[in-house]
Amino acid sequence: MTQRRDFKGVGIIGTGSYVPEKVITNFDLEKIVETSDEWIRARTGIKERRILDTDKGSSFMAIEAAKKALENAKISPEDIDMIIVATVTPDMMFPSTACLVQESLKCKNAAAFDLEAACSGFLYGLSVAYSFVSSGIYKNILLIGADALSRITDWTDRNTCVLFGDGAGAAIISEVPEGKGVLGLDLGADGEGKNLLKLVAGGSLMPATEKTVKNRLHYIYMEGNEVFKFAVRKMEEISLKIIEKSKLKLEDIDYLVPHQANMRIIESARKKLKLAENKVYVNLEDYGNMSSASIPVALDEAVRKNKIKDNDVILLIGFGGGLTWGAMVIRWYSKGRF
């Protein structure tokens, strides 16, 4: 354990992302299930999604995203003190996907573990990383959100198969100058909603058997209407809560990077925050819902396209199975990164 240091702030000093090359469009799905491009676009805003090759796992995407984040932050693998991978689709139950990343990148000085909070995973991980750096225990933490939801998607269920895609996003969390970095954070959960979005089989309660496979219990189950209502309510509620908690006003928010689940949910939050359309980053139509990868991929793209600039106040917000939710306000620091 290192000694606590006097430092000025904790923020993100590098980002990276990776999405697979293979694309499945809405027109491709029309050939698989009873649906249409018009129906999918109208209800979700999704046009296509990326699908990982069958001979690769989530660790492959995580490693590729992490390489870009390290390069962006201008630090070496040896400088990483901890690796956190947020995922619901690990390569295997153990060792953790984070350990696979550590070995591949040769982050020989890093502790490593996985974290599971579904689509809220990246924000939960960001909060954990913030705590380790702000306490002075570690200096540089590599956080990755990586999910291959195509592996647990029932491609015969037209209500869910249109929603999900694969990808990974990464961020390096470290010290930043005074006034920059995390201004406020908030996490939450409601276990009473555990049955609204779940994957039933494959754990210790219901291990894989011939029966669980036959009954298609190893795929995502979601009560779409209830999850939609929960998401709209929570996006608005926690947006206002975290802004107040950060001692800010609505007009102080320069940019919103939300979880990319449904365009109607994003639009509802944007209007509640009174933000112009060009102040919200959306890549939903190209990738669908990538779970824990959703926010970090969007964040990396927004930064690299210069949508987010030094000193901008950005709001990261998401929700997921559990039910879980999280939000963080960050004053962006980007000096010398591009």
Whichever domain contains 148, its CATH number is 3.40.47.10
The answer on 162 and 202 residing in a single domain is no
Whether 164 and 16 map to the same domain: the answer is yes
pLDDT at 8: 74
pLDDT tens, residue order, the chain (338 aa): 344 445 579 999 999 999 999 999 999 999 999 999 999 999 999 999 999 999 999 999 999 999 999 999 999 999 999 999 999 999 999 999 999 999 999 999 999 999 999 999 999 999 999 999 999 999 999 999 999 999 999 999 999 999 999 999 999 999 999 999 999 999 999 999 999 999 999 999 999 999 999 999 999 999 989 999 999 999 889 999 999 999 999 999 999 999 999 999 999 989 988 999 999 999 999 999 999 999 999 999 999 999 999 999 999 999 999 999 999 999 999 865 54
Among the listed residues 61, 75, 86, 70, the one whose alpha carbon sits nearest the alpha carbon of residue 15: 70
| Cα separation, 35 vs 33, whole angstroms | 6
Q: Which pLDDT does position 1 carry in this prediction? A: 37
Together in a domain, 186 and 169:
no
User: In terms of domains, do 151 and 252 share one?
Assistant: no
Report the run of H or E that residue 173 belongs to, with start and end.
Answer: strand 166-176
Q: Report, as residue numbers or ranges, the catalytic residues.
A: 119, 259, 289
* Closest among 117, 164, 166, 65 to 318, alpha carbons compared: 117
Distance of CA 304 to the CA centre of its chain: 17
CA distances 291 to 10, 161, 163, 250, 305, Å, are 25, 14, 10, 27, 22
Tokens of 94: 């153990």
Per-residue pLDDT at 4: 45
Domain that holds residue 85: 9-179
pLDDT of residue 2: 42
pLDDT of residue 338: 45
Same domain, 52 and 108: yes
- Number of structural domains found in the chain: 2
For residue 261, list its beta bridge partners. Answer: none
pLDDT of the residue at 286: 98
- Are 91 and 109 in the same domain? yes
For residues 157 and 300, membership in a common domain is answered with: no
DSSP code per residue over 233-257: HHHHHHHHHHHHHTT--GGG--EEE
Is 338 part of any domain? no
CB contact set of 60 (below 8 Å; sequence gap of 6+): 52
* DSSP alpha helix (H) spans, 158-223: 210-214
- Do 114 and 237 lie in one domain? The reply is no
- Among 13, 303, 3, 296, smallest CA distance to 182 is for 13
Claim to verify: residue 186 and residue 161 sit in the same structural domain? no
User: Is residue 252 domain-shared with residue 140, that is, in the same domain?
Assistant: no
φ, ψ (nearest 5 deg) of residue 201: -100, 160
Half-sphere exposure of 176 (CA within 13 A, CB side): 26
Say yes or no: 141 and 206 in one domain: no
The span from the CA of 271 to the CA of 256, in Å, is 11
Tell me what pLDDT residue 7 has: 53
- pLDDT number for residue 334: 86
Whole-number Cα distances in Å, 38 to 35, 42, 60, 143, 279 = 9, 6, 33, 36, 26
Residues in the chain, total: 338
pLDDT recorded at residue 337: 53
